[in-house]
Amino acid sequence: MSGTALDLAGRRLYLCTPDRPDLEDFLEACLQGGVDVVQLRDKTLEARHLVQRARVAALVCADHGVPFIVNDRPDAALEAGADGVHLGQDDVSPQVARRVLGADAIVGRSTHAVAELEASRKEPIDYVSAGPVEPTPTKPGRPGTGLDYIRLASERAGHPVFVTGGVRPQTVPRLVEAGARRFVVVRYLTQSSDIDNDARRLCYAIDAALASARAN
């Protein structure tokens, strides 16, 4: 684990968002509400525009002391001054990303199956995402993994695990029961009309479920 990524240890709510016209204000509201990691994921942007928008997000996150991560593109992450990159199974390897970004960058890895989870244990990464627990429009055509994979990932991953897929206040308790301790939110906040309050509601649900799990 890199020196910078040690800061992931106490973080539990990871926002993954596409670009949007109000990106700066949107991120400000999310961070005020308790989001403590941000990823910009937008596969429609060409490289130059991605870097421009990533720089906007990086500045907002830096003001709050929150790690900012770019999806897929270690080169764009480097140029934008991001803290790291998140890699899917079809992206460049973590080894390449690490060479581009250096030892102190955050490198994350998506996993959806046991073989990918096992392979990630040997990769130079700082965290994995596990899921999506249920099918989601952000991963068209990908079936949900269900809770059994979350249980397995929570037990066997050699890195911090962020759970993806349908994270919202009402689903958090059952995810925590399955072993989840860190969460990736997408639509619950990107489609919200009350962003900072919805972020607070989600953080409250996470904190309450985690406190209950510790008490038991």
CB atoms inside a 10 Å sphere around CB 121:
12
Rounded to the nearest integer, the mean pLDDT of the chain is: 93
**What residues contact residue 77 under an 8 Å CB cut-off, 6+ apart?**
54, 69, 70, 84, 85, 101, 105
22 belongs to a structural domain: yes
Q: 94: burial class by Cβ within 10 Å (0-12, 13-18, 19+)?
A: buried
**What residues contact residue 203 under an 8 Å CB cut-off, 6+ apart?**
12, 13, 33, 34
Q: Is 56 helix (H, G, I), strand (E, B) or coil?
A: helix
151 belongs to a structural domain: yes
2 belongs to a structural domain: no
Number of H helices, E strands in the chain: 9, 8
Q: Is 140 helix (H, G, I), strand (E, B) or coil?
A: coil
pLDDT band at 5 (very low <50, low <70, confident <90, very high): very low
Give CA separation, 174 vs 28, 113, 212, in Å. 29, 20, 12
pLDDT at site 6: 45
1 belongs to a structural domain: no
- Per residue in 76-122, pLDDT (tens digit) is 999 999 999 999 999 999 999 999 999 999 999 999 999 999 999 99
pLDDT at site 7: 76
Give CA separation, 53 vs 13, 105, 195, 197, 202, in Å. 22, 19, 20, 25, 26
Query: Which structural domain, as residue segments, surrounds residue 156?
Result: 8-215
118 belongs to a structural domain: yes
Alpha-carbon gap, residue 185 to 167, rounded angstroms: 6
In the predicted structure, residue 2 carries a pLDDT above the cut 60 = no
156 belongs to a structural domain: yes
User: pLDDT higher for 210 or 143?
Assistant: 210
pLDDT at site 85: 98
40 belongs to a structural domain: yes
Structurally, the chain folds into a number of domains equal to 1
Dihedral of alpha carbons 120, 86, 175, 216, sign: positive
Domain with 185 in it: what CATH number? 3.20.20.70
Whole-prediction pTM value? 0.93
pLDDT at site 144: 77
Alpha-carbon gap, residue 36 to 39, rounded angstroms: 10
Alpha-carbon gap, residue 44 to 8, rounded angstroms: 28
134 belongs to a structural domain: yes
- Per residue in 122-148, pLDDT (tens digit) is 999 999 999 999 877 666 666 778 999
Out of 140-154, 175-189, 191-205, which region has the weakest mean confidence (pLDDT)? 140-154
Mean pLDDT to the nearest integer, 176-203 = 97
